């Protein structure tokens, strides 16, 4: 034991002594006092214990001796080694906790005093031991009570045994979640391990043991019926989309995230605990060199699929392939589950633990849909100038595919441009520097630095990013090229997993699959990235969009498998970005496989869905639904980027409003001269900044399990938070979705032209968090962006809304502050912007007096039907009741709800004119200019 352990906590002489006792006592008892030391020394276990053995071997021998002795069997070491490793991990974790402030040694009673959570942990340790025997098909051994109390309590407890059941457990071949059965007929080779060491005891890790080693396994986890679920699955190698259902057969291949809701109950449940719905999240993981995913079969079984991607990378025993956790708040449950997985894997970090690049708070432009691969530095300059001329200056640009030096293979250069399958000849990277299109004719040596200087010095950009594939280019790096030799590229041919091939059969003839990819030797990949990125950084480039990331999972044959190859590349990418781009300038793209997500510790932005396709009418509603549902999972690991869009397009407002509430970057891919500046001014302030929401935009709780793309009756509602308000977007996404039969996105018939749904204040999941009143009654004021209306919604009152396909609405949602009987106030922000409330940086209420008069009583009324604001009268009081102080970012029309007309409004030291609509309670005035640079915000006061 280490010498720095606290003196007041008892320890055994050997770690083995401590653990051996707890895994071998006859009743599997758990005790914690010094008498155990003597017990151990005198017990029969000493005949087996040998301090010269390592910890693992000692535990193995002791368990083997006990099991074989107790049950007359002849098991081997291999039979229990896997379970022993898990027990060892639990023990080491407990030893760590025993030495911290949670435990104290009571010298009077000679016992350790421990809190309830530690008691639960010990129960899990005992459960591990219990499971070891049960797994080996023996009778369940009894295990006793933890002894942590007084002598009286100990005697009472001895007569009344108590077992703390974990929230998620496998019992009697059922997966039970908070006493509700989720899976039945769980096979005997499916094993579970407490998640206590990785996070809260609400979760368990699930694995399976197979008879033979293999590079792929499929096993049923049990039958799934009578629930509602949301699955995020890969419909393409690169991208996930959503699918809803209520039984096992509905779960798609390549499901990487599964959220299950118990079917009984209503989303409009009361606040009572008895009526709460239970949400269970299943997170497939990576374990060693294997990657897991879920799928259903026609027997309604939920299947676990494990693959290494390399015929020489094999295994048969898995303990941590899926994490299962449960709770009554779906968003909190997902967060805690991903947090537990992070602790278990240790290979990634959560979104809030990462540095967000500066681009997320500014408006940007991407060259892709404007020029595609024909982009030039002249085109970049013209695009920046065009956007700047309309008063919406971009502050970052992504120079997408088209700037690099690439070429086809030598033997193909004399051939026609397309191969025998009709695919274009695949281009590969031939050098790390730019191609001639990005070299100034007068001074080619400037290279890409020339356009960077133009962007920053002439057009005032803060950030310039460039695109590259994770393998260099689509076809990788070209072998045999002198400039590339030092990176050791070699040809690899993709081998796709079964699930991806079934979902995306076009891979059989894809150019990469047919012509192969020049893969940089993993040992040299950091050198490759560092030299590429250091060259770019030297030219003033601030970051990279790293695309085509999922291709690595197909190239692991002979290289340790898909997980190992991805891990090496992601670690090298992290290191290079950290060294060369101090703002953490990296966007992950085409990266929705678990290896990429779980092996990247640094990248903070991830593209949330398949591309924006301006010329594909079937794609637009699909895009909005996909980014929202994918963000439920992706948003815990990185900030989802909902992609570029066109501001001049039939679906421009539909896309633009969604970007405004996404919480991620906002950027367009307009061609120069093709802009809708009226739309852009709803997104972009004159200084190029945006009003970004604080979280990833996600579907509201009542939309998690409805299908807004396929069911013909549901609208999609997306919520997000600002510092002092919420925002709620409503979208009709019906009529198009990924077709599992045709394996592509298709249109389908909808039942009606318009769909009616309902909104309420609580749709903004965390709206209570921004109410500046601990006794807030739940009443909210909504500002309708489309109709420019104020709506008052009392707690739990719903408002109907009807939308046609491709129609949308955005509401700013603000808790109403009850200043006094008859007085209510709620600021909205810059009401001509989509995310109006994002402008409010600070909000304070200074209540001067508590008063009530006939005028005040009439000043705030709410009609019972529908929750709309009733008649209001002017405040005739000569004294100020309250002063509302607001710090506002940006400029434009500021709006707020006030139940009575304000006495005056000031901006800075100046009294300003304002308008007040007595019918709706809307008070508004104009902030004509941006705040001065030294102030950053307008200081507004509204006196009531």
* String of DSSP letters for 524-593: GHHHHHHHHHHHHHHTT--EEEEE-GGGGGGS-TTTT-HHHHHHHHHHHHHHHHHHH-TTT-EEE-S--S
- Separation of alpha carbons 473 and 137, rounded Å: 53
Any residues with CB less than 8 A from the CB of 389 and at least 6 apart, and which? none
Whether residue 645 is contained in a domain is answered as yes
> Per-residue confidence at 307, pLDDT binned at 50, 70, 90?
very high
CB 554, CB 562: distance < 8 Å: yes
Does 189 share its domain with 323?
yes
**Which pLDDT score, from 0 to 100, does residue 536 have?**
99
**Residues forming beta bridges with residue 428, ordered by sequence position:** 407
Structural element, H or E, at residue 87: helix 77-98
**Residue 96 CB burial class (10 angstroms; 0-12, 13-18, ≥19):** exposed
Does 772 share its domain with 868?
yes
Does 159 share its domain with 288?
no
Whether residue 713 is contained in a domain is answered as no
Q: What is the mean pLDDT of residues 858-870?
A: 37
Domain boundary pick from 117, 149, 164: 164
Domain boundary pick from 650, 673, 705: 705
Q: Alpha helix (H) ranges present in 269-395?
A: 330-345, 368-371, 377-389
Between 70 and 718, the higher pLDDT residue:
718
**Which pLDDT score, from 0 to 100, does residue 750 have?**
83
- Separation of alpha carbons 286 and 307, rounded Å: 10
**Which pLDDT score, from 0 to 100, does residue 18 have?**
39
- Separation of alpha carbons 857 and 462, rounded Å: 53
Lowest mean pLDDT among 12-16, 299-303, 407-411: 12-16
Across 215-336, the runs of DSSP E, i.e. the strands, are: 216-224, 227-234, 240-245, 255-262, 279-284, 286-287, 290-296, 301-307, 315-327
- Separation of alpha carbons 894 and 891, rounded Å: 8
**Which pLDDT score, from 0 to 100, does residue 139 have?**
25
Q: What is the mean pLDDT of residues 496-512?
A: 97
CB 864, CB 927: distance < 8 Å: no
Whether residue 710 is contained in a domain is answered as no
- Separation of alpha carbons 824 and 898, rounded Å: 6
- Separation of alpha carbons 785 and 599, rounded Å: 41
Q: What is the mean pLDDT of residues 525-539?
A: 98
- Separation of alpha carbons 166 and 179, rounded Å: 10
CB 154, CB 147: distance < 8 Å: yes
Q: What is the mean pLDDT of residues 906-927?
A: 97
CB 874, CB 849: distance < 8 Å: no
**Which pLDDT score, from 0 to 100, does residue 120 have?**
52
Beta-sheet strand order (sheet of 780-784): 698-699, 716-721, 726-731, 808-815, 780-784, 789-793
CA angle at residue 703 from 683 to 629, to 5 degrees?
60
Q: What is the mean pLDDT of residues 581-589?
A: 98
- Separation of alpha carbons 172 and 170, rounded Å: 7
* Rg, the chain, Cα only: 31
Backbone angles phi, psi at 625, to 5 degrees: -65, -45
Q: What is the mean pLDDT of residues 231-260?
A: 98
Token duo for residue 840: 């409010």
Whether residue 92 is contained in a domain is answered as yes
Whether residue 512 is contained in a domain is answered as no
Q: What is the mean pLDDT of residues 310-330?
A: 96
**Residues forming beta bridges with residue 840, ordered by sequence position:** 888
Whether residue 499 is contained in a domain is answered as no
3 state SS of 827 = strand
- Separation of alpha carbons 479 and 411, rounded Å: 12
**Residues forming beta bridges with residue 765, ordered by sequence position:** none
Backbone angles phi, psi at 279, to 5 degrees: -110, 130
Q: What is the mean pLDDT of residues 862-881?
A: 48
**Residue 768 CB burial class (10 angstroms; 0-12, 13-18, ≥19):** middle
**Residue 338 CB burial class (10 angstroms; 0-12, 13-18, ≥19):** buried
> Per-residue confidence at 441, pLDDT binned at 50, 70, 90?
confident
Residue labelled with tokens 């990247």: 600
**Which pLDDT score, from 0 to 100, does residue 258 have?**
99
CA distances from 860 to 48, 319, 826, 921 (A): 81, 61, 13, 9
CB 900, CB 939: distance < 8 Å: no
Please say if the pLDDT value at position 186 is more than 90: yes
- Separation of alpha carbons 510 and 503, rounded Å: 14
- Separation of alpha carbons 447 and 439, rounded Å: 5
Q: Which of 808, 655, 786, 787 is nearest to 731 (CA)?
A: 808
CB 835, CB 691: distance < 8 Å: yes
Residue labelled with tokens 């009361």: 270
Does 178 share its domain with 117?
no
- Separation of alpha carbons 325 and 334, rounded Å: 8
Token duo for residue 598: 């779980």
- 89 lies in which domain range? 1-164
Please say if the pLDDT value at position 758 is more than 80: yes
Residue 648 sits in a domain whose CATH number is 3.20.20.70
Computed over every residue of the chain, the mean pLDDT equals 84
Whether residue 495 is contained in a domain is answered as no
Please say if the pLDDT value at position 90 is more than 70: no
What's the pLDDT tens digit per position in 358-400?
999 999 999 999 999 999 999 999 999 999 999 999 999 999 9
Whether residue 662 is contained in a domain is answered as yes
- Separation of alpha carbons 291 and 302, rounded Å: 17
Any residues with CB less than 8 A from the CB of 253 and at least 6 apart, and which? 233, 293, 295, 498, 499, 502, 503
Domain boundary pick from 132, 164, 196: 164
DSSP of 18-75, one letter per residue? Answer: HHHHHHHSTT---B-BTHHHHHHHHSGGGGT--TTS-HHHHHHHHHHHHHHHHHT---
Lowest mean pLDDT among 247-251, 334-338, 821-825: 821-825
Pairing state of beta strands 396-399 and 363-366?
A: parallel
3 state SS of 732 = coil
- Separation of alpha carbons 629 and 334, rounded Å: 13
Does 672 share its domain with 740?
no
Number of domains comprising the chain: 4
Q: What is the mean pLDDT of residues 295-313?
A: 98
| Side-chain-facing half-sphere of 838: CA atoms under 13 Å | 26
Does 328 share its domain with 252?
yes
**Which pLDDT score, from 0 to 100, does residue 902 have?**
96
Residue labelled with tokens 């691969």: 373
- Separation of alpha carbons 203 and 189, rounded Å: 19
Does 249 share its domain with 262?
yes
- Separation of alpha carbons 321 and 216, rounded Å: 13
Give the burial string for 198-235 (b: 16+ CB within 10 Å, else e): bbbbbbbbbbbbeeeeebebebbbbbbeebbbbbbbbb
3 state SS of 607 = strand
Does 742 share its domain with 696?
no
Does 557 share its domain with 410?
yes
Token duo for residue 150: 């007084």
Please say if the pLDDT value at position 708 is more than 70: yes
Please say if the pLDDT value at position 46 is more than 90: no
Characterise 500 by phi-psi region: left (phi > 0), alpha (psi -120 to 50), beta (else): alpha
Does 681 share its domain with 755?
no
Please say if the pLDDT value at position 745 is more than 70: yes
Does 159 share its domain with 173?
no
- Separation of alpha carbons 131 and 202, rounded Å: 18
CA angle at residue 797 from 791 to 800, to 5 degrees?
65
Give the burial string for 18-57 (b: 16+ CB within 10 Å, else e): bbbbbbbbeebbbbbeeebbeebeebebeebbeeeeebee
Does 385 share its domain with 451?
yes
**Which pLDDT score, from 0 to 100, does residue 877 have?**
56
């Amino acid at each position: 034991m280490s010498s720095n352990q606290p003196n007041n906590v008892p320890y055994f002489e050997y770690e083995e002594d401590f653990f051996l006792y707890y895994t071998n006592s006859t009743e599997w008892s758990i005790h914690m006092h010094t008498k155990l030391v003597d017990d151990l020394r005198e017990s029969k276990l000493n005949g087996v214990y040998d301090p010269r053995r390592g910890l693992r071997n000692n535990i193995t021998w002791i368990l083997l001796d006990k099991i074989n002795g107790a049950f007359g069997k002849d098991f081997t070491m291999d039979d229990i080694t896997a379970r022993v490793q898990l027990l060892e991990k639990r023990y080491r974790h407990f030893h760590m906790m025993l030495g911290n402030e949670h435990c104290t040694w009571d010298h009077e009673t000679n016992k350790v005093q421990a809190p309830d959570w530690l008691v639960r942990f010990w129960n899990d340790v005992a459960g591990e031991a219990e499971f070891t025997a049960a797994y080996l098909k023996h009778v369940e051994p009894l295990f006793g009570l933890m002894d942590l109390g007084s002598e009286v309590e100990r005697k009472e407890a001895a007569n009344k045994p108590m077992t703390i059941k974990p929230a998620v457990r496998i019992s009697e071949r059922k997966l039970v979640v908070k006493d509700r059965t989720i899976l039945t007929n769980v096979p005997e080779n499916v094993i579970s391990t407490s998640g206590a060491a990785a996070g809260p005891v609400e979760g368990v890790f699930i694995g399976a043991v197979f008879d033979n080693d293999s590079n792929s396994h499929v096993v049923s986890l049990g039958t799934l019926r009578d629930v509602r679920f949301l699955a995020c699955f890969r419909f393409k190698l690169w991208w996930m989309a959503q699918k809803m259902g209520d039984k096992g057969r509905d779960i798609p291949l390549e499901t990487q995230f599964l959220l299950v809701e118990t079917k009984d109950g209503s989303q409009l449940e009361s606040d009572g605990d008895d009526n709460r719905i239970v949400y269970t999240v299943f997170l497939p993981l990576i374990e060693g060199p294997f990657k897991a995913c879920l799928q259903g079969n026609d027997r309604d079984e939920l299947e676990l699929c494990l693959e290494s991607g390399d015929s020489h990378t094999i295994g048969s025993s898995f303990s941590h392939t899926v994490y299962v956790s449960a709770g009554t708040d779906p968003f909190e449950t997902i967060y805690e589950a991903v947090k537990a997985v992070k602790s278990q894997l240790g290979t990634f970090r959560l979104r809030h633990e990462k540095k967000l690049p500066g681009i997320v708070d500014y408006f940007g432009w991407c060259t892709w849909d404007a020029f595609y691969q024909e982009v030039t530095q002249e085109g970049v300059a013209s695009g920046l100038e065009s956007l700047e001329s309309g008063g919406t200056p971009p502050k970052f640009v992504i120079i997408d595919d088209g700037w690099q030096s690439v070429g086809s293979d030598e033997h193909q250069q004399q051939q026609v441009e397309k191969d025998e399958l009709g695919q274009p000849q695949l281009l590969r990277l031939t050098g790390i520097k730019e191609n001639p299109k990005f070299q100034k004719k007068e001074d080619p040596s400037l290279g890409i630095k020339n356009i960077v200087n133009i962007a920053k010095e002439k057009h005032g950009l803060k950030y310039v990013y460039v695109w590259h594939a994770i393998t260099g280019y689509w076809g990788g790096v070209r072998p045999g090229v002198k400039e590339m030799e030092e990176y050791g590229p070699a040809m690899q041919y993709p081998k796709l997993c079964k699930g991806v091939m079934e979902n995306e059969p076009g891979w059989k003839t894809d150019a990469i699959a047919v012509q192969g990819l020049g893969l940089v030797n993993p040992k040299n990949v950091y050198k490759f990235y560092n030299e590429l990125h250091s060259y770019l950084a030297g030219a003033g480039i601030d970051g990279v969009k790293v695309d085509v990331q999922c291709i690595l999972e197909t190239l692991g044959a002979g290289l340790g498998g898909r997980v190992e190859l991805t891990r090496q590349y992601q670690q090298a990418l992290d290191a290079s970005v950290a060294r060369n781009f101090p703002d953490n300038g990296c966007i992950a793209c085409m990266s929705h496989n678990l290896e990429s997500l779980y092996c990247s510790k640094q990248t903070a932005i991830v593209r949330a869905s398949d591309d924006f396709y301006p010329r594909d009418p079937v794609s637009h509603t699909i895009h909005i639904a996909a980014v929202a549902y994918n963000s439920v999972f992706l948003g815990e690991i990185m900030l989802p980027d909902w992609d570029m869009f066109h501001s001049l397009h039939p679906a421009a407002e539909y896309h633009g409003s969604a970007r405004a509430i996404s919480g991620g970057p906002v950027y367009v891919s307009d061609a120069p001269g093709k802009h809708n500046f009226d739309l852009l001014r709803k997104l972009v302030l004159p200084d190029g900044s945006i009003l970004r929401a604080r979280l990833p935009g996600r579907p509201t709780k009542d939309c998690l399990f409805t299908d807004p793309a396929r069911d013909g009756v549901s609208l999609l509602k997306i919520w997000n938070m600002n510092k002092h308000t919420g925002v709620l977007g409503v979208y009709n996404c019906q009529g198009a979705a990924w077709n599992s039969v045709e394996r592509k996105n298709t249109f389908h018939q909808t039942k009606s032209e318009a769909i009616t749904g309902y909104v309420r204040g609580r749709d903004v999941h965390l709206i209570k968090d921004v109410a500046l009143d601990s006794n807030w009654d739940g009443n909210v004021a909504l500002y309708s962006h489309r109709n420019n209306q104020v709506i008052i919604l009392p707690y739990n009152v719903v408002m109907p809304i009807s939308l046609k396909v491709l129609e949308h609405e955005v509401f700013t949602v603000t808790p109403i502050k009850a200043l006094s009987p008859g007085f209510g106030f709620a600021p909205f922000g810059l009401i001509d912007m989509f995310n109006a409330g994002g402008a409010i940086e600070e909000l304070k209420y200074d209540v001067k007096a508590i008063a009530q008069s006939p005028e005040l009583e009439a000043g705030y009324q709410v009609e019972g039907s529908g929750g709309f604001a009733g008649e209001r009268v002017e405040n005739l009081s000569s004294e100020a009741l309250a002063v509302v102080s607001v710090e506002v970012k940006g400029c434009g029309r500021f709006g707020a709800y006030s139940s009575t007309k304000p006495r005056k409004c000031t901006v800075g030291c100046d009294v300003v004119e304002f308008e007040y609509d007595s019918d709706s309670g809307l008070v508004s005035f104009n902030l004509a200019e941006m705040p001065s640079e030294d102030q950053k915000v307008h200081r507004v006061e509204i006196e009531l």
